[in-house]
Amino acid sequence: MPSTALCTQFKADLLNGAHCFGATMTPTISSTSSTSVTAVSSMSGIAVGMSVSGNASIPANTVVARITSSTALTLSNATTGTITAAACTFAGDVFRMALIKVAPSGTWDATATNYGSGSGAPTTSNLGTDEVASGGGYTTGGLALTNVSAVTSGVTGYVTFSPDPSWSSATFSTVAAMIYNASTVGRLGGVVNRAVSIHDFSGTQSVSAGVLTIVMPAAAAATAIIRLS
């Protein structure tokens, strides 16, 4: 049976800078056909590695390469035209929630390291056929979660996601979920689809032609879904 746990490999990955839980930010920026960006209206919540988009002059797959001052940064790709005080989108990594089927063959707990390829035999590095199959309102890979920037309370730092993930027109059963980092940024060589945590549902949860929602715990120091204290 699955067990609720923060994945052990995730803890090491976190210390190695493999994850960015930052919420989407939309400061205004300026740039003139270069990797240099100036006049960033607010650097709050911006981190190296965040994806940058939202303007036709920003090439696909551009990320923040360096933060050079409180109002300037360097991009991984040069802008292809002039940007003048335009709002752009800076986004953290994409975290997804995948659902685990009833009677999985694997033991899903802190030992999980990866979501894996979306198919194949289940191992600690591949959810594989232990994931709820596509169909009935569910698609393998699960749903993307919406990041909320990390905050602190007392001696605890924590993150949450909002709103809660929901599947509609859903007809399936599940016993647990895996949150994993589906970002294509690739902060560490060879690290993709890393597992973050496993969440046991205390038994089989079934839905038929309806809605299934995973209600996350309150975003507070003692309860938040991912917290370090």
Partner 1 sequence: MTQVLATNGSPHPPRKWALATAELIIDDTALYGDRYVAAQQLKLKIAEILATHHALNQIDERTLIAKDPTIILDGYHFNRLDDAVRDVIQATRLTEWHDHFEQAAVIGVVTEIIGKHFATAQKIERLWFAETHPDSLLAKTYKSQAIEGII
145 is an interface residue for partner 1 by CB under 8 A: yes
Binding segment for partner 1 among 63-71, 106-114, 163-171, 188-196 (CB under 8 A)?
A: 163-171
Of the residues 86, 157, 205, 228, which one makes contact with partner 1 according to CB under 8 A: 205
Of 68, 76, 73, 65, whose CA–CA distance to 27 is shortest?
A: 73
Q: What residues form DSSP beta bridges with 98?
A: 178
> How is residue 166 written in tokens?
């929901």
Q: Which one of residues 26, 117, 162, 229 is an interface residue with partner 1 (CB under 8 A)?
A: 162
- Cβ partners under 8 Å of residue 11, min gap 6: none
Distance of CA 170 to the CA centre of its chain: 23
In contact, 52 and 63? CB cutoff 8 Å: yes
Instruction: Kindly tell me which residue out of 67, 143, 191, 228 binds partner 1, with binding defined by CB under 8 A.
Output: 143
Nearer to partner 1, 57 or 146 (CB): 146
Is 29 one of the binding residues for partner 1 (CB under 8 A)?
no
Pick the piece of the chain touching partner 1 (CB under 8 A) from 34-42, 54-62, 124-132, 195-203: 195-203
* 8 Å CB contact between 210 and 170: yes
217 binds partner 1 (CB under 8 A): yes
